[in-house]
Amino acid sequence: MAIQYQEHKKIFELHTKSSTYLIGITPEGYVGHIYYGKRLHREVSAYLLRTAEAPFTPEVNKREKVAFMDSFPMEYPVGGTGDYRESCFNVRNEKGQMGSELLYRTHEIYKGKKKLEGLPASFGNGEEVETLEITLADEVLGLETVLCYSVFEKEDMIARSIRVNNKGSETLLLEKVYSACLDMDNDAFEMISLCGGWARERNIQRTPLHYGKQSICSLRGESSHQEHPFIALVTPETTQKQGEVYAMHFVYSGNFLAQAEVSQFDSVRMVMGIHGEQFTWKLSSGESFQAPEVICTYSGEGLGKMSRSFHDFYRNHMIRSVYNHKKRPVLINNWEATYFDFDDEKLLDIAKEAKSCGIEMLVMDDGWFGKRNFDDNSLGDWVVNEEKIKGGLKKLVDQVNGIGLEFGIWFEPEMVSPDSELYRAHPDWALQIDGREGSMCRNQYVLDLSRAEIVDCVYESVAKILRNANVRYVKWDMNRQLTDLGSVCLDRERHKELFHRYVLGVYELQERLVTEFPELLLENCSGGGGRFDPGMLYYSPQIWCSDDTDAVERLAIQEGTALIYPLSAMGAHISDCPNHITGRVTPFETRGHVALAGSFGYELDITKIPEAEREMISGQVEMYHAYNDLVREGDYYRIASYHENNKFDAWAVSSKDKTEVLVTYVQVLAEPNRRSRKLYLQGFDECALYHLEGTEQVYSGEMLMYGGFLMEPMKGDYVSRLYYFIKE
C-alpha cells in the first residue's frame, strides 16, 4: 500500500519505491509537513513538526498563535492569519476582508486517480497510483480545501493538486490558489531552474539559496521561453550521480510562480502554482475551483535519477497520444526551406526529393491560407490560398500521398491578424482594452478564448480542414504572448480570471482535437519552445523545442529540456547552414547526431542543399530507424555538459534491460596537443561485456563506468561521434 494513515499518531505515510512523504495533524487540526526524503521502512513519528518547541501551539498558549503560524511547517499555508511566509491560499469574504484558517476535517484514500475537470493531468489505474484527499475546512467562510496527493510508487512521483469548494452562503474571491507547498529545513540548498529567451530556451541555471524569496515565473499568458515552470532544490554536493534533489514541475501552460523562500528559522518553503498577480476567481456558493497539478519528486541519487523518474512518469502517465510508444514518421518541414514563399509545385518538388531519401512525411508550415505571403495578415482565415495551392488542399495532399509521403499541416488557431476576414467580421473577438489600441506583436492579436463561441468557431475552422483531407500531423503554433487583458464579455469582478480562462480555452480546443482525431500526430509549438510544458504534453506527444536549430545551441537547449522531459518529446530537426539564427556552420553529420536525440526531422530545402549532404540523408534516416526505439523508450544519462565545461557534450541512452547503450559525443571546440579524453559512461550492466559496434573491441560494463571510456582525439570544431554498445 502506497498510502497509510496511522490514526493513533495522526500521520499520513506516502511511500514510493525510494521515497517517503509524511504529513501530520496537530491536536488543533493544523496539517503539517513532517518529512520528505529517502524511503523509510519502520515506525514513523511526528516530532519533526516541533510543536513542543517555542513558540507554543495555540492550545497551549493562545497569545503566541502568530508565532506558531509563522514557523509551523504547513502542508498548505494560508494568508492573513499570521503566517508571513509566502501563502498558497488567499481568500476574501463578501466584505473584502482577507484571511482564512484551514483545519483538518476528513480524508479519503483510494486506488487510482480522478480526472481534473478541464485540466491536463497525470493518469493511472488502480494498480499504478493511489490517492489521498485531505479535506480542510474554514468554518467561518464555509469553505473546504481538498489537498490531493496521488502517489505513483514505481516512478517515485507524487502528483499534487488543490480543489476549493465553497460550501457557505457568501460569494468568495479567491486571490491565490497555489497547487503545492513543501516546507523543509534549509540544507544549504541550491536552486536549479530553466531559463532563457526565444531561440535559447531552457538553459540550466543553478544558484545557492539566500534569505528571502527567490522565484521564477511567467506573467506572459503561457509557460514561456523565458522561465520554465520547474524548480529543483539540491544539496550542494549534488551531481548527476549523487546528492539530494527535491523537484516540482507544473502541469500548466499559463502564468506560474515557482519559488523558494528561506525564513528567519532557516526553513525553506518551496511553492508552485498559478501566479497570484493577475489572478482572482469569483467563487459563488456551491461552486468549486480546481487548481492545476504539480508533479513532485525526491531523488537521493542525484539529478540523473530525477531525470529518469520524470521521463518514465511522463511516458507512462502524462502522454496520451497513440504515438507515445511509436516511432514518429521522419518529416520534412518547409519553414526554413521557403518561409512564406512557396506553392504546390515547390512543395511537390521537396516531397519527391524527400521521398528518394527515405523521408516519410511532408509538413506544410505557415503561409498556406488566406492571402498570407508574410506574417502581417490572414490569421483566422483558415481557408487554403488557391493561388498558392492550386486546385485546393485535398488535391495537394493526394499528390503528396501519391509520391509516398504522409502530409502534415501548420495552424496558429489562437490568433487573429487585424488584416483578416475574421477580424473584420468580429473585431471584438480579440483580447482588448476599451479605448486603447491593441499592442501588436508579430502583427497579430490574441483571440479571446475565454468565450465559448470563439472556441467553437476556432475549433470548427481547424477541424473542417482535417475532416476534408488526409492530414496525419498538425503543428499547433502560438507566436505571441498575451497583452491587453480585456474581454468584452467579462465584468469588472471577473477580469482577473481572464488569463486562466484563456488557458482553459486552449485546453478545451486541444481536448476536442485529440478526441475527434485520435490518430493525429499533434506537435505543439510556440514561436519555438515557448509553451513546452507538461500541460501541452498531455495533448501532444512532442513539442517543438526551439526555433534555434543550430547544433551547438541545441546542446544546451536539449540538455535543459531533457533534464525533465523524455527525449521523444523534443521536436528536433536538421536544418541548413549557415544556420538561419546564429550564422554558424556545423557539419551535417553533427546536426544529425544532435537531432537524433529528439523527434527527428528536416527543416531545409532538400532540392537546394549540397549534393554531398543530400546523399547523407538516407543514411541518417536509417540511423533514426535503427536507434529510435532505444532513444524513445530508454533511460537517459547525462555524461558531460558543454554548458559546464565549454568544450564538449555527451549523453547516453540505455535500454531498460541494459542490453544496448548509445553514446553521443560532440566535441564543440577542438583543442591542440590533446590525448584521448576519458569519460565515465553510465547505463551499463556492470557484470556484462559489451561489444562496440564497428570495431573488434569488447569492454566490460564496469570498466566503462568506473574506469572510463577513451574518446578518440578528433580534429575540428563541432564534430561528433555515436558509439553503440551491445551486450555480448
Residue closer to ligand DGJ, measured from CB, 497 or 533: 533
Q: Which spans in 517-610 are helix H?
A: 534-537, 551-562, 588-595
Supply the minimum distance, in Å, between the C-beta of residue 365 and ligand DGJ. 5
Name the residue with the smallest CB distance to ligand DGJ: 366
Query: Residue 528 or 535: which CB sits closer to ligand DGJ?
Result: 528
> Of the two residues 294 and 551, which places its CB atom closer to ligand DGJ in the complex?
551
Residue 687 CB: number of other CB atoms within 10 A? 9
On whether the CB atoms of residues 725 and 697 are closer than 8 A, the answer is: no
Task: Return the number of the residue (581 or 679) whose C-beta is nearest ligand DGJ.
Answer: 581
Sequence-distant (6+) residues with CB within 8 A of 678 are 708, 709, 710, 711
Question: Which H/E stretch holds residue 455?
Answer: helix 452-468
308: helix, coil or strand? helix
DSSP state, residue 183? E
- Of the listed 138, 448, 547, 635, which one is catalytic? 547
CA proximity to 649, closest of 549, 572, 557, 580: 557
Q: How far is the CB of 412 from ligand DGJ (least distance, A)?
A: 7
Q: Considering the complex, what minimum distance in angstroms separates the CB of residue 374 from ligand DGJ?
A: 10
User: Quick one: angle between helices 393-403 and 344-356, nearest 10?
Assistant: 20
Nearest alpha carbon to residue 554 among 711, 668, 671: 668
Residues β-bridged to residue 244: none
E strands present in 50-199: 89-92, 103-111, 130-138, 143-152, 157-166, 172-185, 190-197
Nearer Cβ to ligand DGJ, position 21 or 544?
544
The rounded distance, in Å, linking the Cα atoms of 250 and 273 is: 7
Active site residue 187: no
Q: Are 550 and 595 in contact (CB under 8 A)?
A: no
Q: In Å, how far are 212, 233, 270, 335 from 263, measured between CA atoms? A: 6, 15, 11, 50
Provide, rounded to whole angstroms, the least separation between the CB of residue 660 and ligand DGJ. 33
Nearer to ligand DGJ, 276 or 529 (CB): 529
Which residue's CB is nearer to ligand DGJ, number 102 or number 347? 347
Which lies closer to ligand DGJ via its Cβ, residue 446 or residue 639?
446
* Strand pairing class (19-25; 11-15): antiparallel
Cβ proximity to ligand DGJ, 338 vs 483, nearer residue: 338
User: Least separation, in Å, of the C-beta of 335 and ligand DGJ?
Assistant: 5
| Closer to ligand DGJ by Cβ: residue 5 or 340 | 340
Q: Is the dihedral of CA 494, 495, 500, 502 positive or negative?
A: positive
Q: What is the C-alpha end-to-end distance of the chain, expressed in Å? A: 39
Q: Tell me whether residue 185 is one of the annotated catalytic residues.
A: no
3-class SS letters over 26-78: CCCCCEEEEEEEECCCCCCCCHHHCCCCCCCCCCCCHHHHHHHHCCCCECCCE
Nearer Cβ to ligand DGJ, position 73 or 221?
221
How far apart, in Å, are the Cα atoms of 408 and each of 3, 396, 438, 460, 470? 45, 11, 33, 18, 9
Q: Which candidate in 381, 448, 477, 548 is catalytic?
A: 477
Instruction: Please give the distance of CA 239 from its chain centroid, rounded to a whole number.
Output: 22
Rounded least distance, CB 367 to ligand DGJ, Å: 8
Using H for helix, E for strand and C for coil, what is the string for 236-253?
CCCCCCCECEEEEEEECC
User: In 563-696, which ranges are continuous DSSP H helix?
Assistant: 588-595, 611-633, 642-645
CA 92-93-96 angle, 5° bins: 70
CB of 333 to ligand DGJ, least distance (A): 7
Determine the Cα–Cα distance for residues 124 and 541; give it in Å rounded to an integer.
17
Cell of 269: 518553503
Residue 321 or 333: the one with the smaller Cβ distance to ligand DGJ is: 333
d(CA 569, CA 544) in angstroms, rounded, equals 8
Site residues for ligand DGJ per CB under 6 A: 335, 365-366, 410, 477, 479, 525, 527-528, 544, 547
Grid cell locating 278: 493577475
Omega within 30 of 0 (cis) for the link into 566 = no
Cβ contact 111:122 at 8 Å:
no
Q: Which residues are catalytically annotated?
A: 477, 547
